[in-house]
A = this chain, B = another copy of it.
């Protein structure tokens, strides 16, 4: 019997405890041993919970109990979660987490502590919730040079955009709907301003390209600037608007990594990823393109990924799984303005003015009086900005080709 502790008894932590209980027999078969929760750490009490007897308020109970070999960190944030994770690893315990903020900002350091102690720090649930993505990248695609990874990494913003696309909702109404359904927080900034997606694309880039990407270096644009007009115009041109996190390797060895709304062709598979679902596309030089799809958040999908990591940690108690990435040069993340794309532009201009400025463009039908919307030929972000400064531009988004 392997003893574990769960730190944080919120949505994910309680989901982990419930999945471990509900699928106990199946999990024991897969892990080669039963898995038992010995402690649950939380500042609160849960007198009505059947798990109250496992509750402790004192981290040192876990830290000092040699019987606890695997610890689930489901606290969130980078304060106590960072401190406790560091100390668990230092005490020779493997740690499993769904905490994308911590992995994105401190992952490299925590992985090197894990390495020095020959234990594991696993974080499948930090990206894509229940979707298997970390292990497929690190193991199944190990024969490939990965050239690009991108996807719909945040379910809240995808729900809002889906409401705008399918029901013609305004951004404000779609946000209220997301909040009423529990998909968006009362303070939704981390989601709608793209910070959550930013942390996830950093982790994916770290793993795919082998060097650390600091979220602070990643240009991040959310969905608050998207207008219903653009959703409609894009639709008439055969596109949908999706918030993508994207990282790609350049020929000079540097990468681009950024978060921004994009226009995707309606016929692309990712365009069909609706509501709170996530979809992640990987391009490898041998594999070609693969896509992974599923619930990007939620109590049980996320718990599913956490528990899979617990099983893996339990099977590798004395055999560290190689996982990690290197420090990067200061200019590793190249300026997003250098990246060339086709662009969607909506401006206060005539067709003739836009053609004079952008050259050969495709005009989208249905723009309002006095406005014009076009798809440009491929140009860099810098050139696009220089041209846009000569006009009143209402919207500029990259096309994902």
Q: Interface residues, chain A, CB within 8 Å of chain B?
A: 15, 19-20, 22-23, 26-27, 29-32, 124, 130-132, 135-136, 139-145, 210, 267, 269, 272-273, 284-295, 298, 300-301, 303-308, 310-312, 315, 319, 322
Contacts and interface: CB of A to CB of B under 8 A. Distances in A.
Contact of A286 (B124, B142, B144, B303): B303
Contacts of A140: 124, 132, 135-136, 305, 308
A188 to B, nearest CB: 23
Given A22-B286, A23-B145, 11 more contacts: A19-B143, A26-B145, A29-B210, A130-B287, A132-B132, A143-B303, A143-B311, A267-B272, A269-B272, A286-B300, A291-B294
Contacts of A310: 143
Contacts of A308: 139-143
Nearest to A294: B290
Contacts of A290: 130-132, 292-295
4 A-B pairs with least C-beta separation: A132-B140, A143-B307, A290-B294, A286-B304
Q: Which of A131, A139, A143, A307 has the most CB of B within 10 A?
A: A143
Contacts of A124: 140
B145 A139 contact: no
Contacts of A306: 143
A288 B301 contact: yes
B273 A301 contact: no
A293 B283 CA distance: 12
A335 B71 CA distance: 45
A20 B304 CA distance: 34
Contact of A287 (B139, B142, B267, B304): B304
Given A135-B135, A143-B307, A304-B143, A288 B295 contact: yes
27 contacts: A23-B145, A26-B143, A26-B144, A27-B142, A29-B210, A30-B142, A32-B322, A130-B284, A130-B287, A132-B132, A132-B139, A136-B140, A139-B308, A141-B304, A143-B304, A143-B306, A144-B304, A269-B269, A284-B304, A287-B301, A288-B300, A290-B295, A291-B291, A291-B293, A291-B294, A315-B322, A319-B319
Nearest to A282: B294
A151 to B, nearest CB: 12
B294 A288 contact: yes
A352 B29 CA distance: 54
Nearest to A19: B286
Nearest to A133: B140
A138 to B, nearest CB: 8
Contacts of A15: 286
Nearest to A29: B210
A165 to B, nearest CB: 13
Nearest to A138: B30
A286 B307 contact: yes
A287 B300 contact: yes
Contacts of A294: 287-291
Given A286-B300, A293-B291, A294-B287, A136 B132 contact: yes
A294 B143 CA distance: 16
A37 to B, nearest CB: 14
A135 B124 CA distance: 14
Given A136-B132, A286-B130, A311 B27 contact: no
A159 to B, nearest CB: 15
A91 to B, nearest CB: 25
B300 A289 contact: no
A310 B139 CA distance: 11
Nearest to A269: B272
Contacts of A284: 130, 304
